[in-house]
Structure 1
Amino acid sequence: MPIVPDFPDAGRGAEDSDDHHGHGHGRRDRGAAPRGGPPFHDQSPSPQEPMDEPPPPASGPPNRRRGRGQPGGSAKSDGPASAGREKKRAGRDLKAAIGVGVGLGAVIVASLFVVRAVFVGVIVVAVVVGLWELTSRLQERKQIKAPLVPLALGGAAMVVAGYLRGAEGAWIVMALTALAVLVWRMTEPPEGYLRDVTAGVFAAFYVPFLATFVALMLAADDGAERVLTFLLLTVVSDTGAYAVGWRFGKHRLAPRISPGKTREGLFGAVAFAMAAGVLCMEFLVDGGTWWQGLLLGLAVAVSATLGDLGESMIKRDLGIKDMGTLLPGHGGIMDRLDSLLPTAPVVWLLLVIFVGGG
């Protein structure tokens, strides 16, 4: 749940309108919709996001612009109406996005360094809400009924077990959660049983199990510093991708999945994350060295990008723009977790290899 807000015409605001945490990798070129078929869901104009106004009629000298007071003249960017249009075109309320991001960051940092048990509760809340968003969208768009009750209870237990009993406890609860999903679905007609339980097991792995690795990091002696390193590297990776991609992005990274991401943006994510990794391993993580920070930053940039692309694939399949509307200016909780979830096990594993389990 990186908390970098979305920005217009760049990053996710231009590609998936996903959220974070400006994880965009570049500008979206005009006419990016694939030929021979309908455009991607988030490329088509929504009722709240009007298309650019058509050019004025070709009357008068061709090189002369219409003034503000002339009929048909375009509004200047300093006018309130124009500002409103720009805000709508961005697809996000920037002030709300920044406010929500700052608030989330304050809650996370305070709970992380004051009382660790409170931060475990933050993880549990994020997991349960994320499961609710995911299962709700599956039912709305695909009529897939992944049972929420066993998923929510099992997901919460999974995070707590990971913090208290380690990886072994997390695996045991994961297996019990999958079994509970199979049994719970038996109370309904058999039609669609395999489809529903498959989606349920996938949801259990995708959200709570991956999130449990954050609790595993937290359980170490320097757990707060490890979790902070994980969060900082993911946010810095997203920010680097947005900044470099917006300024220099020309070559698309995965146009069929996320047209706004560019290879230049990926290089920016790698560079920013590797620099941040060196600082974090030198000054935050006990026993860390600079070269380990380089490897850690590289791994975070790759896993965060793949996580973002993975959720983009899910949303394109579902035909939705955001997983939810809970966070103003950001979308849903799952739109904040997309790059964090797959990055958590990567950071946990590398830190165990580099400096031990703590």
Structure 2
Amino acid sequence: MLKSRLITALILIPLVIAALFWLPPVGFAMTMIVICMLAAWEWGQFAGMASRQQRIWLSVLCGLLLSAMLFTLPPYQRDVHLPQVATSLWASLAWWIAALLLVLSYPASAALWRHSRPLRLLFGLLTLVPFFWGMVALRQYHYDSDRFAGSWWLLFVMLLVWGADSGAYMFGRLFGKHKLAPKVSPGKTWEGFFGGLVCSALIAWLFASLAPLSVSAGTLVICAVLATLASVLGDLTESMFKREAGIKDSGNLIPGHGGILDRIDSLTAAVPVFACLLLLVFRTL
């Protein structure tokens, strides 16, 4: 298992970085639509869709929705203040605050949505649509003056999330004793949580020192810390939905890593939260 995880990671990481820096905005947006469609297919399990046909339709509808939203924008403009983008990013903040309450009160909170397919589908909508627009908005950051500015920001967020995940795993294995959320994800510990924060802080400091990120240190720290905390929440939220669905992995598309949602669960929270803070709250335009 570990060998397949390492091999897959060694293949995927260069592909992800290449997509961030070399794909043009339209190609990047199309790639994100495909990723969100695959994630929607897996989300169908969380919504109680046992039929492959139902999940295929859910995936197709997700792709059509994102494509329709994308093509209603002015040509070559992905300005964060356009209604489609801004509304989605603000909605992400509201959703992840609500998700935090659901996770903290689980399993009692499950009584509110366990038997409601529309609610579970709404949760998927609030997870995937803001994630899509967060990725697209960050990729478009200052694109006219510097085509790679947004790529650096996306790489920064991804490294924060990867650092938090890796740090949590290592510190949790070495020192983990106190459970973080035993009713949601018994394997996660407070020691791992703080270890992940330390790793993310180190990565943020190194990356900010070496990469061309033209934002004040205070703004960067606030955005980085909140995005890292959101990434942990994204992971816990998916674990909660998987527990309710009675599954271990969201899929088996990625060898050794499970499904698409298993790989992007942290990013679905971290990216839109970071984009909303950076572009709408602090208005670093």
The normalised TM-score by structure 2 is: 0.76
Pair 160,356 (structure 1): closer, same or farther in 2 beyond 3 Å: farther
What pairs up with 1:66-81 in 2 under 5 angstroms? Answer: none
Superposition RMSD in Å: 2.9
**Residue 135 of structure 1 pairs with residue 44 of structure 2:** yes
Q: Structure 1: how far apart are the matches of 2:121 and 2:43? A: 10
**Residue 105 of structure 1 pairs with residue 13 of structure 2:** yes
| Residue in 2 that maps onto 1:185 | none
Amino acid at match of 1:306: L
Which of 47, 52, 65 is the equivalent residue of 1:154? Answer: 65
Amino acid at match of 2:214: G
| Residue in 2 that maps onto 1:114 | 22
In structure 2, the gaps of 5 or more residues are 89-114, 143-148
Q: Structure 2: how far apart are the matches of 1:140 and 1:134? A: 9
Pair 127,256 (structure 1): closer, same or farther in 2 beyond 3 Å: same
CA displacement at 1:136 relative to structure 2: 4.3
Task: Give the secondary structure class of the aligned counterpart of 1:166.
Answer: coil
> Contact between 1:288 and 1:354, CA under 8 Å: does it hold in 2?
no
Which stretch of structure 1 is more off in the superposition, 214-223 or 115-124?
115-124
Once the two structures are superposed, residues 259-289 of structure 1 have per-residue CA deviations (whole angstroms, 9 ceiling, x without a partner) of: 1111111111111111222223333243234
Which stretch of structure 1 is more off in the superposition, 338-347 or 108-117?
108-117
> Contact between 1:120 and 1:160, CA under 8 Å: does it hold in 2?
no
| Residue in 1 that maps onto 2:132 | 211
Pair 166,140 (structure 1): closer, same or farther in 2 beyond 3 Å: same
> Contact between 2:224 and 2:274, CA under 8 Å: does it hold in 1?
no
**Residue 230 of structure 1 pairs with residue 143 of structure 2:** no
Q: Structure 2: how far apart are the matches of 1:345 and 1:172? A: 10
Which of 175, 200, 213 is the equivalent residue of 1:273? Answer: 200
> Contact between 1:278 and 1:290, CA under 8 Å: does it hold in 2?
no
Task: Give the secondary structure class of the aligned counterpart of 1:317.
Answer: helix
Pair 223,239 (structure 1): closer, same or farther in 2 beyond 3 Å: same
**Residue 166 of structure 1 pairs with residue 74 of structure 2:** no
**Residue 324 of structure 1 pairs with residue 251 of structure 2:** yes
> Contact between 1:288 and 1:355, CA under 8 Å: does it hold in 2?
no
> Contact between 1:275 and 1:297, CA under 8 Å: does it hold in 2?
no
> Contact between 1:97 and 1:330, CA under 8 Å: does it hold in 2?
yes
Q: Structure 2: how far apart are the matches of 1:220 and 1:297? A: 17
Q: Structure 2: how far apart are the matches of 1:227 and 1:159? A: 19
Task: Give the secondary structure class of the aligned counterpart of 1:131.
Answer: helix
CA displacement at 1:137 relative to structure 2: 5.0
Once the two structures are superposed, residues 214-268 of structure 1 have per-residue CA deviations (whole angstroms, 9 ceiling, x without a partner) of: 1110111211111111111111111111111111111111111111111111111
Pair 131,275 (structure 1): closer, same or farther in 2 beyond 3 Å: same
Question: After TM superposition, which residue ranges in structure 1, 4 or more long, deviate above 6 angstroms?
Answer: 160-163
**Residue 356 of structure 1 pairs with residue 284 of structure 2:** yes
Which structure has the highest helix share of the two? 2
Amino acid at match of 2:196: A
In structure 1, the gaps of 5 or more residues are 1-92, 175-193
Pair 153,261 (structure 1): closer, same or farther in 2 beyond 3 Å: same
Q: Structure 1: how far apart are the matches of 2:178 and 2:282? A: 35
Which stretch of structure 1 is more off in the superposition, 276-285 or 127-136?
276-285
Once the two structures are superposed, residues 77-129 of structure 1 have per-residue CA deviations (whole angstroms, 9 ceiling, x without a partner) of: xxxxxxxxxxxxxxxx2222122222221211112112233332331221010
Q: Structure 2: how far apart are the matches of 1:315 and 1:120? A: 28
The normalised TM-score by structure 1 is: 0.61
Task: Give the secondary structure class of the aligned counterpart of 2:79.
Answer: helix
Q: Structure 1: how far apart are the matches of 2:124 and 2:163? A: 27
> Contact between 1:303 and 1:343, CA under 8 Å: does it hold in 2?
yes
Q: Structure 1: how far apart are the matches of 2:42 and 2:71? A: 21
Pair 139,252 (structure 1): closer, same or farther in 2 beyond 3 Å: closer
Amino acid at match of 2:5: A
Once the two structures are superposed, residues 112-153 of structure 1 have per-residue CA deviations (whole angstroms, 9 ceiling, x without a partner) of: 11223333233122101000111145344699x675132221
CA displacement at 1:308 relative to structure 2: 0.7
What pairs up with 1:18-97 in 2 under 5 angstroms? Answer: 93-97=1-5
CA displacement at 1:326 relative to structure 2: 0.6
Task: Give the secondary structure class of the aligned counterpart of 2:78.
Answer: helix
Aligned length: 246
Which of 337, 340, 346 is the equivalent residue of 2:264? Answer: 337
Q: Structure 2: how far apart are the matches of 1:279 and 1:354? A: 22
Amino acid at match of 1:317: E
Amino acid at match of 1:127: C
Identity of aligned residues (%): 31
